[in-house]
Amino acid sequence: MVSSPLPAPLPPPASVLGLAPVVPVVVIEDVGDAVPLARALVAGGLPAIEVTLRTPAALEAIGEIAEEVPGAVVGAGTVIRPGQVAEAVAAGSRFLVSPGWTDVLLEAMRASGVPFLPGVSTASEVVALLERGVREMKFFPAQAAGGTAYLRSLSGPLPQARFCPTGGIGPDSAPDYLALPNVGCVGGSWMLPADAVAARDWGRVEALAREAAALSAGGTCR
């Protein structure tokens, strides 16, 4: 019996910022939750899923989602070491997100062949990335680092930089971020309440994802 060939890997997206107005930030403790959770998010209209590398299950979860959920664009978050870049891409990550950056980490992400969002929280960090040819960034921790007022103040002198703010953002504040001209999307976990995940209430996750997907981002993400 001849086995069917495996499908060719999907190409990476051109940009993380253009996938959806909201990127769910997911912490997976149990690999068994990965596929149903991702299916619920995709069914709700949120295809870009950032699985944070904070748990031992993360890399396996990324692999399961990449293989079993065709509509998902799964990526790795909390990438803080160059070695994690290769591991995440090998597992199936189609984008990378870091809470911060160094030159060594930046070069590893650049060499990965997938889009990436290095984290910034100051104007100097933004300028340093622009100097290195990087225009798309994660703004983290968004609320603690100045929120919408800070991002709005950056849009004048640094209009070429675009951001995915993450950190402390919920359904009430997300629209204010998405209204900014330099914001492409936001990251958050409010569509994944702990009690719903613990109960494996994927219907509730899908409903919350659908509400988040209905948001629009500065006319650029949808």
Kindly list the catalytic residues.
Answer: 50, 138
What is the distance between the alpha carbons of residues 110 and 193, in angstroms, rounded to a whole number? 33
What is the distance between the alpha carbons of residues 155 and 145, in angstroms, rounded to a whole number? 15
- The tokens for 101 are 């950056």
Residues 6+ apart with CB under 8 A from 47: 19, 20, 41, 71, 72, 73
Query: Is the CB of residue 23 less than 8 Å from the CB of residue 163?
Result: no
> Phi, psi at residue 99, to the nearest 5°?
-75, -15
Sheet holding 162-165, edge to edge: 119-120, 136-139, 162-165
Query: Is the CB of residue 132 less than 8 Å from the CB of residue 157?
Result: no
Hunting for tokens 């068994």 — which residue is that? 32
Number of other residues whose CB lies within 10 A of the CB of residue 82: 16
> Phi, psi at residue 107, to the nearest 5°?
-65, -35
Number of other residues whose CB lies within 10 A of the CB of residue 9: 9
Residue type, 218: G
